[in-house]
Each structure stands twice: as structure tokens, then as C-alpha cells.
Structure 1
Amino acid sequence: MTAKRVKWGVLSAENSDREAFRAVFNRTSNAELVHKEYVHFERVINDPDIDAVYIQLPSKHRLEWIRKAAHAGKHILCEKPAALHVQDAAQIMNVCKENGVIFLESFPHLFHPQHEKAKQLIQSGLIGEVKMMRAGYSFPARAREDELDAGILYHVGSDCINSVRYIFESEPVGAVAIGESNPAGMVQTVGVILHYPGHLYAMVDCSSEMTMRNEYEVVGTEGVITLPFAYRPDLNGGDGMIVIQTKQTRTELIVKDDRNVHLIDHISDCILQGAFAEYIGGEYLLKNMKVLDAIMQSLRHGSMMTQVERQTLAEDSWNAECGIAFLLRR
């Protein structure tokens, strides 16, 4: 008996994107890409043969098409950033809930097992008590500048924030940020300090003006764990690497896997089972978005400390706690 598969459509302006997606879908266990030519995106979201859509449009168009796809009853995988403000994230959460569709913002790195392995090592006490985490993601933009339509913080800084939240398993209470923008006002380089309760903090940097780096390290009282290919294992043949440095030894672990296939398999499993799993749904999007909003507030107010507090957003019909009160202090 043939296992049921989720049928996917793609909303993308680039034919090359569709070819890349097709190669990934061909390796999945529970999904397939529908082979049709569409003149308009409306025909994709209204096609009864399609169960879910992958939205790979410029940032300014994503919220519009998330709404349209949700109202059409299509499950949604959306390229990051799906939203640029916490209010937009709340709208996404609500419209997907109201229409009974599953939503996932695409963070492929989360689906590479090197992160789970690193977290297990950290929680085992191998490097002692965790005191700090550093995450950095940069590359020279050059020809890719048109892809960074929302600024570097939202495009790759969000990966770093996601990693910190994943490792610490908690949310920051404050942020201080400095940054540089181009003449058009687009943020190109950002440095951030995130403050957590209990004398724990994280430093994050991202840039479209520096050499390629995609790494994070977790520093403890007895050692350091580093992932030099945290966000782009494809630059290492798809293999993740974990470097463990303690007072006595230095060890390198290689973790092999296909993050993109696991990403599609994960959301497709949730669609087939009608279940919400880790990273699925608007709530996860909101938690990441509130940190990004706090960072942007700090940048706009001259690198002042931005305290993050939870409050109820009027736009959220669930009355879920998902927002930020920005209390700036010198």
C-alpha cells in the first residue's frame, strides 16, 4: 500500500527555486511537488490537488500570501522572515488558527541533528555550567543584496536568535544592539547582547559586509562547544561539526544528515497527522519576533537597553501573551 503524501505547490518568482525545491521533495518520504505550470499564484492556492504551499516571495509580499493561502485552506511553509513586526506575527497566528491550517516559518538549520546532539552534550554537564553563548552569521552580500529586502537582522540574524532560544530554552528579558545601515536605511551589520535571568547572556552578530561565518559557541565553566557550520552545513558537504574543547581534551564530532529533507518531512508529518509539533504554529514565530522587535527598538533608540515584557495584544483574538512592552532605560 502506498503511503499518503502531502502535495505541495510553490509560490516563487524564480524558476530556479522550483528546480531546487523539486530536488529536495524527491528525497522526502511523505511529500511531493505538484508538477503544474501556473500563470497566477491564485491558481496555486485554489488548486484542489494541492494540500500545502511553500511561500518563497520577497518579504513585503509574504504576509499577503500567507493570509490568502490560509483562507484557501492550504497549509503553509514560509521563507523567513514571515513577518517584520510582532503585530504581523499575531495576524499570521490568528488567520492560520481560524482556518485550521498548519504554519511553519522556515529555519532549516533547526532540522539538522547537530544541534540536538550539541544540546545533549551541553545538558550532560560536559562543559560545566553554561555562562554565555555567541552566535554569528555573516557573508559579503554583493549580488545577493536584492534578496536582503528586510535587512540582515531578519534574514540571518533571526537564525542566531533562534539558536540562542533553542540552547537556553528560555526567552531573553532585555537587549542592547548597535548597528550600521546603508544610505537607504537598510541595516547591514548588527551586534546584539541579550540578557537572560541568572547572570546568563548571549552575544549575536550578523552582517552582509563581512566574510562568510555561520557559527555559534556555548561557553561553560569547564569548556566550550562550537558549531562552525551551524547554519550552512551545505558548505561542509551537508555535514555538521561539533568541536568540544575542555581543559583536558579537544574533540571533533561529525554529524551527517539532510536538513532540508527533515524540514519538509516534519511539517508534512504534522499535516498528515493533524498535529502541532515543535516549531509548528504562530506561537513559535511570535516568540522569535518579539526578540527581533526588541533589538530593532534598541537600534532606533541609540543602543539603549530594551527590556522585554509580556503583554496581551489587542490584535490577537486568542488573547495569548505574545507581545513586547518596550521600556527603555539609560
Structure 2
Amino acid sequence: MKTLRWGILGAAQFAQEQMAPAIHAAKGAELVALATSHPDKAAPFQAFAPQLAVHSSYEAMLADPDIDAVYIPLPNHLHVEWTLKALKAGKHVLCEKPMAMQAQDYEQLISARDSTGLLAAEAFMIVHHPQWIRAREIVQSGSLGRLRHVAVNFSFFNDDTGNIRNDPKAGGGVLPDIGTYAFGCTRFVTGQEPTAISHAKIDYENDVDVFAQVAARFDGFDLSATVSMRMFPFQQAILHGEKGILRLTCPFNPTVYSQAELHLETTQNSTSVERFPGVNHYVQQVENFGAAVTEGAAYPCPLEFSRGTQRMTDMAFAAGG
């Protein structure tokens, strides 16, 4: 497989802690550049990638002919703008979620992707993790019988007013940040789209949604999702069918929150457990992106999928008033 040369657009903390090391560790990938107007922010990146080139502007990095693909960890409201600029500059793009703030904004991203022939995708990493691929296999094989209910909880505590998650002008809020996981994982596992949002309770602080409790109807089952960035850290996903229950104890950030495990109960008082120790879904994401670019492999999270999750987010906001 051809090596894909990566640049990162901005020295975000998440890029420093997770995605830059993942690009560095991934097969078929090489981290070659970082764009930041603050040279001191490059030091943590250069600690593991000493040959890293540092560009003083985003435009300079996009003009660098030695870069094949860019990863964009900028604030949410800048994602569409810089994805389009990167595609125009001839770079493949992996952009943090949500890639756009409204479902309709995906149309111009899809159009630019198709017209350039480049890969542009949202960094929805969980679909690259084997626990979710396995969960989809279990659900769609009929092992749970008819699926009747999905329950997802995801929370953490962050009341730092200086953090972009609490900045309404930067596209902050809990639904854009982690509601995408509750909605996206349900759509990924079942292959279905919501028919309606039957309930949405959304609490705001300083014009930012900090708590959301959403009930959605799908064909044959319901979703109950609770997400918050003002609650003690917790995460869990439960898929409950007529003949079994599947529980993911660490569905969204394994190796950080806990170990990825699938607990499957299909007979009374009998549970099987599948564990996935040491799997880094950020590395898997980068390798799958590279395979899609260099080998023409199907990418697990195309823009059309991400548009569907954003459409559901839009529906939740509308239902929540």
C-alpha cells in the first residue's frame, strides 16, 4: 500500500493527544506537517515526529505539494470552510465531527468530493472499531430476535467557559459533540433511519445545549438517548431484542474510559463476553482512510452516512424547541 503523507490543520489538544499519534502509528501513513501560528505548540507533536514540518498558516500547508491528506480538528463552525479549501487544494480530507452544523451543508461537501475525485470524510471513529462491527453483525444476524429498544447514555463533565464545547459561536454543545455517537451508532448497527423524534428535552446554559434526552422512533424499535456534558463520566449502549440483549460497556472511547466489551445474553442467566483489548480505533480509522485512497477500498463512514446523523441531530433540535 502506498504511504499517505498527512498534515494536520491546527495544533488542537485532541490532535496532539489522539490523532497525531494515531497517524504516526498507522500503517501506510506518515505524519509530515502541522499548521499552527504558534510554533511552541508544535513541540509536543515533534516529540514523536521530529521531522515534522511546521507551517505558520493553514494556507501554506494546503499549498505544500508534499502533503497528500489533511486532518482537520478545528472548531466545528470552521469544518465546512476548510474542508472545501483543502479539497480545492488537491488534498484528501479527514475532518472531525460534526463535519457540518446542518444536514444541508453536506451537499456542498459531497459535490466537492465528487467533482475532485478526492476522499473527504468525517472522523466518526467508532465505526472502525471491531466491537461495533461485531455488534452490527450480531444485531443484523437476528441473534437478538426482533430488536425492540436501543438505550444509549454518554456523559462527561466540562463547565469550562473557555472550552470550545461551551462556545455557541464555535458550534459547541452536547448534541454536536457526543449526541452524534448516540445517533450514529444506532444507525450504523441497525442500518435504519429514524422516522420521528417523539421526545426531546434539551437544557441550555449560555446558549449552549449541555443536556439532551431524546426519544426517537425507528421501524420496529425505539431509541432512548441521554447525553450530557454536565454529568459524571459514563457511557453505555444497550440493544434489547425479543430473544436477547447486547450491552457495550465502553462503546465510544475505549482505552480512555475503559476496555471495549460486548456482553451478549440470549438465554436466561447466561452471558457471553467478547473483549477487544488494546484496539485503537483512531489508528484503524487512519488505516481505513489510507486503504480507501490508495487501494480503492470502501470507506466505512462516507459523507452520506454523516449527513444522516446530522439530519437526526437537526430533528432533535427542532423537536426540543
AA aligned to 1:277 is: Y
Which residue of 229, 251, 276 maps to 2:272? 251
| Alpha-carbon distance, 1:16 to partner | 7.2
AA aligned to 1:171 is: E
**1:168-179, aligned counterparts within 5 Å?**
168-175=190-197, 176-179=199-202
Q: Which residue of the partner structure matches residue 299 of structure 2?
A: 277
Distance in structure 2 (CA, Å) of the matches to 1:15 and 1:151: 18
**1:133-282, aligned counterparts within 5 Å?**
133-143=150-160, 146-148=163-165, 149=167, 150-175=172-197, 176-182=199-205, 184-198=206-220, 200-235=221-256, 239-245=259-265, 246-256=267-277, 257-274=279-296, 276-280=298-302, 282=303
1:222–1:247: 8 Å Cα contact kept in structure 2?
Answer: no
Unmatched runs of 5 consecutive residues or more in structure 1: 301-330
1:133–1:202: 8 Å Cα contact kept in structure 2?
Answer: yes
Residues 1:111 and 1:194: Cα distance change in structure 2 (over 3 Å): same
1:73–1:100: 8 Å Cα contact kept in structure 2?
Answer: no
Distance in structure 2 (CA, Å) of the matches to 1:16 and 1:262: 17
AA aligned to 1:217 is: I
Unmatched runs of 5 consecutive residues or more in structure 2: 33-51
| Alpha-carbon distance, 1:298 to partner | 0.7
**SS, match of residue 78 in structure 2:** helix
AA aligned to 2:147 is: V
Distance in structure 1 (CA, Å) of the matches to 2:19 and 2:176: 22
Q: Output the aligned Cα RMSD.
A: 1.9
**1:44-193, aligned counterparts within 5 Å?**
44-143=61-160, 146-148=163-165, 149=167, 150-175=172-197, 176-182=199-205, 184-193=206-215
AA aligned to 2:156 is: F
Query: Deviation per CA, 1:231-288, whole angstroms, max 9, x where unpaired?
Result: 0112356x310112341312322123221111000111111124543312x2122111
**SS, match of residue 49 in structure 1:** coil
Distance in structure 2 (CA, Å) of the matches to 1:128 and 1:284: 25
**SS, match of residue 83 in structure 1:** coil
Q: How many residues align?
A: 294
**SS, match of residue 256 in structure 2:** helix
AA aligned to 2:248 is: L
Query: Deviation per CA, 1:290-323, whole angstroms, max 9, x where unpaired?
Result: 11111111112xxxxxxxxxxxxxxxxxxxxxxx
1:153–1:190: 8 Å Cα contact kept in structure 2?
Answer: yes
Q: Which residue of the partner structure matches residue 308 of structure 1?
A: none
Q: Which residue of the partner structure matches residue 6 of structure 1?
A: 4
Structure 1 residue runs of 4 or more that deviate by more than 4 Å after TM superposition: none
**SS, match of residue 188 in structure 2:** helix
Query: Deviation per CA, 1:199-248, whole angstroms, max 9, x where unpaired?
Result: x11111110111111210000112211001000112356x3101123413
Q: TM-score by structure 1 length?
A: 0.84
**SS, match of residue 138 in structure 1:** strand
1:217–1:224: 8 Å Cα contact kept in structure 2?
Answer: yes
**SS, match of residue 53 in structure 2:** coil
AA aligned to 1:159 is: Y
Distance in structure 2 (CA, Å) of the matches to 1:121 and 1:99: 37
Distance in structure 2 (CA, Å) of the matches to 1:145 and 1:298: 29
Distance in structure 2 (CA, Å) of the matches to 1:49 and 1:276: 25
Q: TM-score by structure 2 length?
A: 0.86
Distance in structure 2 (CA, Å) of the matches to 1:137 and 1:264: 24
2:249–2:262: 8 Å Cα contact kept in structure 1?
Answer: yes
| Alpha-carbon distance, 1:174 to partner | 0.5
Find out whether 1:287 has 2:294 as its counterpart.
Answer: no
**SS, match of residue 282 in structure 2:** helix
Q: Which residue of the partner structure matches residue 324 of structure 1?
A: none
Distance in structure 2 (CA, Å) of the matches to 1:80 and 1:249: 38
Q: Which residue of the partner structure matches residue 17 of structure 1?
A: 15
Distance in structure 2 (CA, Å) of the matches to 1:165 and 1:144: 32
User: % of aligned pairs identical?
Assistant: 25
Distance in structure 2 (CA, Å) of the matches to 1:190 and 1:16: 24
Q: Which residue of the partner structure matches residue 38 of structure 2?
A: none
Residues 1:15 and 1:46: Cα distance change in structure 2 (over 3 Å): farther
